[in-house]
Structure 1
Amino acid sequence: MTGDIHVREEGRGSSLADYAPLLTLVGVAALAALAITAGFAAWEMRPLMHAYMGVFLVIFALLKLFDLSGFKDGFHMYDLLARRVEGYGYVYPFIELGLGLAFLSFAAPTLTYWITIIVFSFGALGVVKALFEGVDIDCPCMGNILSVPLSTVTLTEDLAMVLMSAILLTL
């Protein structure tokens, strides 16, 4: 470890088992979205995406809120804004929670999509930079409860939120 940066261990994050907690949460969010939208005719895309994104974001916000200070410290290690604005790590889980609730309630959908695109695009830049530098930390996206390495999977999560929000803008 050098200063604030942890150097990636050989092979860390290369096994599917390393991502079991994440895959479980993604699967539960998908099942919840299917259950929420089961009453909609013909599995409409907009309600299904809203339900999935809402459940996903609420779960991930909750994981961060269990140890807000610990999340802030980990988030500071790779997020570009959290490195510059001390309090952003404390605010971010509430932004994520607000977005999740907005998706679930269909509140101000266009604004919700744009905020999601901005927040997660910016977050993806920090992940790319950290991956390029070889940073090896447990992803704060799971809070301090579950251990999943910061990796391209984290980047995929961010980009998936951006892509789904962009798709929702076009529906």
Structure 2
Amino acid sequence: MTHTYQITGMTCGSCEAKVKSSLLKVNNVSAVEVSKDNNSATITMDKHIGLSDFQKVLDKKYQISAIYHYEAIEKSKAWFSTYKPVLLIFLYIFSVTALVEITAENIDLSRWMRHFMAGFFLTFSFFKMLNLKGFKHSYLMYDIIARKFPFWGYIYAFTELILGIAFLVNFNPIITNSVTFLVMSVSIIGVLQTVLNKKTIKCACLGDVFNLPMSTVTIIEDGLMIIMSLGMLAMALS
């Protein structure tokens, strides 16, 4: 994509060259054209980049602003484009499991959550299995157990697969939900540390297939699994 921005503070050809070289240093920027006469910079990028990222690399005397497009809209488009795979997966799983309940004789919340968890773990483990080595490498970048025991990455992928099957066949709800709660609670610790420390790390939730950044989306994803497993555990014990 290509956007044109307003740049203030340029007074000579040297300023043009300095602004251009600075903007080219930003990740995912492929081309930059700067005009002192028009006080503008036309930037071609692989994906949308926020104004703050551009401003960081510029000298304080130069100010960049978006006047030819709406930054909020572009940010929304970029967000949906980045997380499209995860959103589609959740939509598909939710829709299929909801359809099962709608067509059943009665709607059972516990059964819906069990089917949803089965779909979640089976789907996410599938993407991890496509490149187990790549997943392990990405996972040890933030998981507290995988950092100390890299082989845990392999075990975690198969644990998700086994949990998916367990939910699907309704194997001992107390054991299945207890293990899920424990595994996901430990997993979310590394995610929280990464997001809160504002580290830019690839999320391994879909293995090494998609380049998804670690963010609050990952926290919500893991948190949902924790809440649902806790809820089903409470139902099983009642």
Give TM class, smaller chain. Answer: 0.7 to 0.9
Gaps of 5+ in 2: 1-48, 54-74
Structure 2 distance, partners of 1:100, 1:32, is: 15
Structure 1 distance, partners of 2:223, 2:102, is: 26
**Equivalent AA in structure 2 for residue 151 of structure 1:** S
* Larger gyration radius, structure 1 or structure 2: 2
Residue 124 (structure 1) aligns with: 188
* Selected match of 1:30 from 76, 94, 118: 94
| Aligned residues: CA RMSD | 1.8
Gaps of 5+ in 1: 1-9
Aligned pair 1:86/2:144, yes or no? Answer: no
Identity, in percent, stands at: 32
Secondary structure of 1:83's partner? helix
Residue 100 (structure 1) aligns with: 164
| TM-superposition CA deviations, 1:117-138 (whole Å, max 9, x none) | 0000111111011112222122
After TM superposition, give the deviation of residue 34 of structure 1 in Å. 2.3
Q: Could you state the TM-score of these two structures normalised by the residue count of structure 2?
A: 0.64
After TM superposition, give the deviation of residue 146 of structure 1 in Å. 1.8
Residue 170 (structure 1) aligns with: 234
* Selected match of 2:201 from 134, 137, 140: 137
Q: Which structure has greater strand proportion?
A: 2
Structure 1 distance, partners of 2:196, 2:105, is: 45
Aligned pair 1:152/2:212, yes or no? Answer: no
Residue 134 (structure 2) aligns with: 70
Bigger shift: residues 29-38 or 138-147: 29-38
* Selected match of 2:176 from 108, 112, 120: 112
Structure 1 distance, partners of 2:113, 2:154, is: 27
After TM superposition, give the deviation of residue 16 of structure 1 in Å. 2.7
* Selected match of 1:55 from 94, 119, 130: 119
Structure 2 distance, partners of 1:101, 1:52, is: 12
Q: Which structure has greater helix proportion?
A: 1
